Chain A
Amino acid sequence: MTLFKLSSRELQEGLHNGEFKIADLTNEAFARIENLDNDVQAFLALNKEKATEQAAQMDQVPFEERGPLFGLPIGVKDNIVTEGLETTCASKILEGFMPIYDATVVKKLRDAGMVTVGKLNMDEFAMGSSNENSAYKTTKNPWNLEHVPGGSSGASAASVAAGEVPFSLGSDTGGSIRQPAAYCGVVGMKPTYGRVSRFGLVAFASSLDQIGPITRNVYDNALLLEAIAGVDPSDSTSADVPVPNYVSKLNGDINGLRIAVPKEYLGEGVSEEVKNSVLKALEVLKGLGATVEEVSLPHSKYALAAYYILSSSEASSNLSRFDGIRYGFRAEGVKNLMELYKETRAQGFGEEVKRRIMLGTYSLSAGTYDAYYKKAQQARTLIKADYDKVFENYDVIIGPTAPTPAFKVGANIDDPMTMYANDILTIPINLAGVPAISIPCGFENGLPLGLQIIGKHFDEETIYRTAYAYEQATEFHKETPQLWEGK
């Protein structure tokens, strides 16, 4: 039994009642990481000394000055910069990079009194769906160590699923929070584009990237989003839209909720077990007073192609800053500046990152710009319009998060196109900029499945209300992997 089986409310209760201290929670995180991380391989860097010191100080703060997340441990994806704590994006090109400021979300975590225990592995620069593209280690799925945790925030999901930490932050460009949350049986939210500041998030595709929370239950997820959301002068794309008090709206009541189910989301390539789990979930929601109707998002099939052109194009531009001059890896033995650039990047980037930089550069180059980049942007307009239209008549859209449960390590590594297809149900959401959550909704061969609930722009509240009502009516979120109890 670990303390991290408890929800944030139970943890605060325990602190109040003197059953344990903040220092005990921090110690518990490091002890579990020490016990389990040889198997799970989630953490790239640990913040042990500072976190322990911080926890001891925080135990002195009077209870009336503490918020609901005060003193609770959290892991942070390694593409979010943390001052004085190595941040590599799981890339060799940033080996040894020591950020000189905190991302806005990291500041906000500190303001909320959360204790950052370490940095979490990922696919290099968030490009991947399995964590196999990390330059450092391959994170494993805590439910079955032969399977991937998903990606790119694979370790953010795996660390929470393994009970190493009760909270984590991930980032989602095409499904990178939701797909690993589904694969690992935890709750992961990709907020509306602009809801959370991207300042200090190492950019992959700037028009798609969002930071979001991963937790073991919906209530804690809503609490954490509330803590990190809001407009930020340092990110001109962050939205000046008020952040609601999400948790105050979680009452389990969804009577009259209008649910749309896109037929494209239960079509070809989606496993029978995944379909069944979603259909059963819809029955549960109907039982709670929601109405369910089938709709069509006719341009869904074009989302994958549009996404790979657009995200790779943006990446090829964003990643041009890694040139070996001001930070990170620098190639040696070069004759001139051009060679320094080329060798640093050739030796510093992994294969998938290079592939996407090449695809993006090609899509943006003279002669192909109109045929690929502009065409993909136009497809994006049509995909977004599909969502706008459905949301005229419905409150949420529901489908699976991923077409199958987690696949085996090594199964798709040599075939980029099959690997990309894992994200077919999550990618359109990023193109449309709408928010979506993945919550546990079943199992296939002992591996978790995720239910995806998609909402209107800036309506995370309805998503959370729906997810909470479903969670209260089911038991899936209470299951834990076997390794949970420790060796």
Chain B
Amino acid sequence: MAKLSKEEVKHVAHLARLAITDEEAEKFANQLGKITDFAEQLNELDTTNVEPTTHVFPIVNVMREDVAQKGLDREVMMLNVKEQVDGQVKVPPILED
């Protein structure tokens, strides 16, 4: 696979919601290129018909009794919120005008 371009790095940064400068994009392009080059060695492996492992144990759908449990108090949950109004989390505009 070809080295990552600066534009690709900027696109990935956008997907990851990271502001990135031109300089950083350059640096990351270089470093991520080295890491993905290294990862290319996985292509030596024949993985035809090899199931991917997402989890070492086959755990599926762990259920509990369908009984309501008390959660944390609303006031407590708001303790770490930096900006709030009337018990609600305040954020900047979502849509630009």
| A complexed with B | yes
- Chain A neighbourhood of B81, CB < 8 A: 325-327
Binds B, one of A37-45, A135-143, A304-312, A400-408: A304-312
Question: 0/1 per residue, B36-75, Cβ < 8 Å to A?
Answer: 1011011111010011111111010010100000001000
Given A327-B80, A336-B92, A359-B35, is A382 in contact with B20 using a C-beta cutoff of 8 Å?
no
B94 beta carbon closer than 8 Å to chain A: yes
**A326-B89, A339-B92, A381-B52 given as contacts; is B79 within 8 A of A376 (CB)?**
no
The stretch of A5-13, A96-104, A446-454, A479-487 in contact with B is A96-104
B15 within 8 A of A: yes
Q: Given A343-B19, A345-B18: A376 and B83 within 8 A (CB)?
A: no
Q: Which of A299, A302, A355, A380 contacts B52 (CB 8 A)?
A: A380
Alpha-carbon distance A100/B79, docked complex (angstroms): 8
CA distance A380 to B54 in the complex (A): 9
* Beta-carbon contact of A308 and B45 below 8 Å: no
Q: Which residues of B contact A239 (CB under 8 A)?
A: 57
B87 at the interface (CB under 8 A from A): no
Asked whether any CB of chain B lies closer than 8 Å to the CB of A330, the reply is: yes
Known: A326-B89, A355-B28, A362-B4. A380 touches B18 (CB 8 A): no
In the complex, what distance in Å separates the CA atom of A343 from the CA atom of B72? 30
A335 contacts B96, C-beta separation under 8 Å: yes
C-alpha spacing A371/B40, complex, angstroms: 9
Q: B61 to nearest A CB, angstroms? A: 9
Q: Is the CB of B42 within 8 A of A376?
A: yes
Q: Is A346 an interface residue (CB 8 A)?
A: yes
Find chain A residues with CB under 8 A from B42 CB: 302, 305-306, 309, 372, 375-376, 379
Interface string of A392-432 (1 = CB under 8 A from B): 00000000000000000000000011000000000000011
The reply to whether A381 and B32 contact each other, CB–CB distance below 8 Å, is: no
B80 to chain A, nearest CB (A): 4
Q: Are A97 and B34 in contact (CB under 8 A)?
A: no
**Beta-carbon contact of B91 and A340 below 8 Å:** yes
Give min CB distance, B49 to chain A, whole Å.
10
Residue A237 is within 8 A (CB to CB) of chain B in the complex: yes
A301 to B38, CA, bound (A): 11
Within 8 Å CB of B82, what residues of A?
324, 330
Interface size on B, residues (CB 8 A): 51
A207 within 8 A of B: yes
Contact present for A323 and B9 (CB under 8 Å): no
A100, A324, A355: most-surrounded residue (chain B CB, <10 A): A100
Report B48 CB to chain A, min CB distance, Å. Answer: 9
A95 to B83: give the CA distance in the assembly, Å: 16
CA distance A337 to B41 in the complex (A): 40
B56 and A384 within 8 A (CB): yes
- Contacting pair A346 B20 (CB below 8 A): yes
Complex Cα spacing A98 to B80, Å: 7
By the criterion CB–CB under 8 Å, are B12 and A362 in contact?
yes
B45: contacting residue among A302, A324, A416, CB under 8 A: A302
- Report yes or no: A325 in contact with B89, Cβ–Cβ below 8 A: yes
Number of residue pairs spanning A and B whose beta carbons lie under 8 angstroms apart: 159
Assess whether B34 is in contact with A361, with CB atoms less than 8 Å apart: no
Would you call B59 and A379 a contact (CB within 8 A)?
no
CB contacts (< 8 Å) of A306 on chain B: these are: 42
- A334 to B35, Cβ gap below 8 A? no
* Chain A hits for B35, CB < 8 A: 308, 359, 416-417
Interface string of B3-34 (1 = CB under 8 A from A): 01000010011011111100000001001101
Asked if B85 lies at the interface with its beta carbon under 8 angstroms from chain A, I say no
Task: Name the contact of A323 in the complex, choosing from B17, B44, B62, B96 (C-beta under 8 A).
Answer: B17
Contacts of B57 in A (CB 8 A): 193-194, 237, 239, 433, 457
**How far does the Cβ of A458 sit from chain B's closest Cβ, in whole Å?**
10
* A207–B54 touching, CB < 8 Å: yes
- Give the contacting residue for A336; candidates B39, B47, B64, B96; CB below 8 A: B96
CB-based contact A98/B79 at 8 Å: yes
Closest CB of chain A to B42's CB: distance in Å? Answer: 5
A377 interface residue (CB < 8 Å to B):
yes
Shortest distance in angstroms between A161's beta carbon and chain B's nearest beta carbon?
31
Taking CB as reference atom, which chain B residue is nearest A349?
A: B18
Q: Smallest distance from the beta carbon of A131 to chain B beta carbons, Å?
A: 21
How far, in Å, is A143 (CB) from chain B's closest CB? 31
A101 to B71, CA, bound (A): 11
* A79: min CB distance to chain B, Å: 16
Quote the shortest CB–CB distance from B66 to chain A (angstroms): 13
**Residues of chain B contacted by A308 (CB below 8 angstroms):** 35, 38-39
In the complex, 28 of the A-B residue pairs with CB atoms within 8 angstroms, ordered by the A residue number, are A100-B80, A193-B56, A207-B55, A236-B59, A237-B57, A299-B45, A305-B38, A305-B42, A323-B17, A325-B89, A336-B96, A340-B91, A340-B92, A341-B17, A342-B19, A346-B18, A358-B18, A358-B32, A365-B15, A372-B36, A372-B39, A377-B52, A377-B53, A378-B47, A378-B53, A381-B51, A433-B57, A457-B57
Closest 6 pairs between A and B when the two form their complex, measured CB to CB? A433-B56, A377-B52, A327-B80, A346-B19, A236-B62, A378-B47
Known contacts A345-B18, A362-B12, then 6 further A-B pairs from the complex at CB < 8 Å, ordered by chain A residue: A207-B55, A340-B92, A354-B18, A359-B36, A377-B53, A384-B56
